[in-house]
Amino acid sequence: MVIKVNFKNPEKNIIKNAAEIIKKGGLVVFPTETVYGLGANALNAKAVKKIFKAKGRPADNPLIVHIADKKSILILAKNISEEAFILAEKFWPGPLTLILEKKTIVPPEVTAGNKTVAIRMPDNKTALALIKAAGVPVAAPSANLAGKPSPTNAGHVAKDLEDRVDLILDGGQTKIGLESTVLDLTQKPFAILRPGGISQEQIEKVIGKVNFWKAGSKSVVKSPGMKYRHYAPRAKLILIDYNNKERAEEIIKKLIKENKEKKAKVGVMATDETRSSYPEADLILTLGSRKNLKIIARNLFKTLRIFDENKIDIILAEGFPEKGIGQAIMNRLSKAADKIIKN
């Protein structure tokens, strides 16, 4: 069942009913500022197992635990480094997930047997009200079927999961559109395991240099989720590096021609600046202007899903500079891609 909530002032009775479901060990999908989450009581192993089943998620990929106030970090984690408190103060509520040493209260099902736990406080009124009313931390992965693009509106969730969950709270389109940044504070130097809504630059301003995942690098560290194919539309996706604009557009035009000759339905994921450059494509969708990477990030997952709805066979996707939120955009595009063409 999908129920609309007022994102500025979530209705108390709706939140209360949703919280009851969580307390009873059920599954509630809720909006966050990043993407929709598929939530269950993080302290109830049986409820947490339902999340994995509903998503078809491999049991070795741990979940993020969502809290409604900064102090709850103390219930879930121990030996917490000073930087964790500094970062929480600066970025919570917000799209930053901290990996810390777990306390025994956190069931192994949540952390996939790891000694660490991922924690974040989302910046969304519905999410915070739900966690507060449930009175327990809420474990939640993105509310998509495993491997699919993460949901940025309730329609996406319903398409993937409607008959597998007890309730979907519809809080409209999510603001950021990409998941949180996952930062491991249990290894030194600290390491970004997944780039996201808070950029490396923002983190380094507060705690100094951190290690970072790089597009195309194989040395992706301890985040178990990173080894799976992710964010993938049904269509085959080819990512074309955009360091050299002329060369990139030339490659895309050539690929449109080649694939159309093979009778494939070809889509181009372009930008406002380039949308008129590919008249031969069957479907051209723009993510927004290259001048505003935040908007590009917000539109990315939604746009991938539109290509699928239109039964496109091949998506040719332009790349972006790996700066600021561009790191997260390129991370998601690389993971969704069947092939990456450098230029």
What gap in Å lies between CA 18 and CA 305, rounded to an integer? 28
Q: Minimum CB separation from ligand TXA for residue 138, in Å?
A: 10
**Partner whose footprint covers residue 223, from Mg ion, ligand TXA, none (CB < 5 to 8 Å by kind):** ligand TXA
147 binds ligand TXA (CB under 6 A): no
Tell me the two tokens of residue 179: 């998941």
116 binds ligand TXA (CB under 6 A): yes
- Contact call for residues 138 and 129 (beta carbons, < 8 A): no
Chain centroid to Cα 96, Å, comes to 11
Of 102 and 332, nearer to Mg ion (C-beta) is: 332
**Partner whose footprint covers residue 172, from ligand TXA, Mg ion, none (CB < 5 to 8 Å by kind):** none
Tell me the two tokens of residue 295: 């908007």
Contact stretch for ligand TXA (CB under 6 A) within 42-50, 92-100, 130-138, 267-275: 92-100
Nearest residue to Mg ion on Cβ basis: 142
Of 142 and 180, nearer to Mg ion (C-beta) is: 142
199 binds ligand TXA (CB under 6 A): no
Task: Show contacts with ligand TXA in window 48-67 (CB under 6 A).
Answer: 61-64
The amino acid at 297:
A
Q: By CB under 6 A, how many residues form the interface with ligand TXA?
A: 30
180 binds ligand TXA (CB under 6 A): yes
- Contact call for residues 64 and 76 (beta carbons, < 8 A): no
Name the E strands within the chain: 2-4, 28-30, 37-41, 64-66, 77-78, 96-102, 116-120, 138-139, 167-170, 181-184, 191-194, 211-212, 236-240, 266-270, 283-286, 314-318, 339-341
Using CB under 6 A, pick the residue from 47, 193, 312, 329 that binds ligand TXA: 193
What gap in Å lies between CA 223 and CA 187, rounded to an integer? 12
171 binds ligand TXA (CB under 6 A): no
What gap in Å lies between CA 74 and CA 117, rounded to an integer? 12
Q: How far is CA 139 from CA 39, 43, 144, 194, 295, in A?
A: 5, 8, 15, 18, 28
Of 48 and 255, nearer to ligand TXA (C-beta) is: 48
- Contact call for residues 177 and 35 (beta carbons, < 8 A): yes
What gap in Å lies between CA 314 and CA 237, rounded to an integer? 6
Would you give the binding string for Mg ion spanning residues 83-122, x where CB under 5 A is met? ----------------------------------------
Task: Show contacts with ligand TXA in window 206-225 (CB under 6 A).
Answer: 222-225
Of 61 and 343, nearer to ligand TXA (C-beta) is: 61
Of 210 and 251, nearer to ligand TXA (C-beta) is: 210
Neighbouring CB atoms inside 10 A of 170's CB total 19
186 binds Mg ion (CB under 5 A): no
Q: Minimum CB separation from Mg ion for residue 64, in Å?
A: 9
Neighbouring CB atoms inside 10 A of 113's CB total 11
Q: Minimum CB separation from ligand TXA for residue 179, in Å?
A: 4
Q: Comparing C-alpha atoms, which of 171, 220, 185 is closest to residue 91?
A: 185
**Helix (H), strand (E) counts: the chain:** 11, 17
Task: Show contacts with Mg ion in window 121-180 (CB under 5 A).
Answer: 142
Q: Minimum CB separation from ligand TXA for residue 97, in Å?
A: 5
Contact stretch for ligand TXA (CB under 6 A) within 75-83, 86-94, 137-145, 242-250: 137-145
Task: Show contacts with ligand TXA in window 289-318 (CB under 6 A).
Answer: none
Residues at the contact surface with Mg ion, assessed by CB under 5 A: 142
Q: Name the residues that contact ligand TXA, by CB under 6 A.
A: 32, 34-35, 37, 61-64, 95, 97, 99, 111, 114, 116-118, 122, 140-142, 179-180, 182, 193-194, 222-226
